[in-house]
């Protein structure tokens, strides 16, 4: 028994106070708020909102729904990543972003079909490569801070956390792209957007699975 007491005393002597993490919703909300502030500032200073509205003239409701679906995908994915990083959290967070993501794809596809009905081929390559670079660049800027915050929870299962985090970052990047997209999206553009999102999610999952792993 004396050895046990000695061990306890030794461990207690070297123990340092542990500052508990704030609730996952609070931490997610802070990150989202900072990103919203910076993104809003960039959109205000650098984008042409009037051009966006002109591009969707007569389809303003579709624009609103499409962008709402993008935001919902991003928010649910990011919030879900913070929650499932905590042991015992519901795995339902993994499927939470799927409905808005599906709505986003349907609405984007409907927009492309609208162009086809009005005479466009819908297959022009246009500035698709620029869209790919834009989404990847914004994701590179937003990803590391998010991963660092998620890593503080030392998730037991890092891969689902990384997948949701990657999807959230990519969805935010795609949302911001809308304000800098000076032309109507074609089916090729939509495919490139999906490729960019898949690339971001895959890279985050591969690189940050180790970064998020418990020590």
Q: What is the spatial distance between Cα 3 and Cα 213, in angstroms, rounded to a whole number?
A: 33
CA distance readout (Å), 192 to 2, 57, 77, 182:
67, 24, 21, 16
**Enclosing H/E stretch for 118:** none
Tokens, residue 2: 């004396």
DSSP string, 60-106: HHHHHHHHHHHHHHHHHHHHHHHHHTSTT--GGGGTTTHHHHHHHHH
Domain residue ranges in the chain:
23-211
Q: Which of 174, 157, 160 is nearest to 204 (CA)?
A: 160
Q: What pLDDT, in 10s, does the model give residues 136-148? A: 999 999 988 998 8
Per-residue pLDDT tens digits for 140-184: 999 889 988 988 888 888 888 988 999 999 999 999 998 887 565
The model carries a pTM of 0.81
Residues 72-87 have pLDDT tens digits of 999 999 999 999 988 8
More confident residue, 145 or 53: 145
């Amino acid at each position: 028994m004396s050895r046990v007491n000695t061990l306890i005393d030794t461990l207690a002597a070297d123990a340092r106070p542990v500052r508990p993490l704030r609730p996952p919703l609070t931490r997610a909300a802070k990150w989202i708020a900072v990103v919203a502030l910076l993104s809003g500032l960039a959109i205000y200073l650098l984008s042409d909102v009037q051009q966006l509205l002109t591009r969707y003239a007569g389809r303003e409701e579709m624009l609103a729904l499409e962008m709402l679906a993008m935001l919902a995908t991003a928010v649910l994915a990011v919030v879900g990543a913070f929650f499932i990083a905590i042991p015992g959290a519901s795995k339902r967070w993994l499927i939470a972003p799927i409905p808005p993501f599906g709505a986003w794809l349907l609405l984007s596809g409907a927009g492309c079909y609208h162009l086809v009905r009005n005479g466009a081929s819908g297959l022009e390559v246009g500035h698709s490569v620029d869209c790919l670079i834009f989404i990847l660049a914004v994701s590179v800027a937003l990803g590391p801070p998010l991963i660092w915050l998620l890593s503080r929870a030392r998730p037991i299962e890092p891969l689902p956390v990384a997948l949701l985090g990657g999807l959230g970052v990519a969805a935010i990047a795609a949302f911001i792209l809308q304000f800098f997209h000076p032309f109507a999206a074609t089916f090729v553009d939509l495919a490139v957007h999906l490729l960019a999102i898949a690339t971001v999610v895959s890279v985050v999952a591969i690189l940050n699975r180790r970064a998020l792993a418990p020590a």
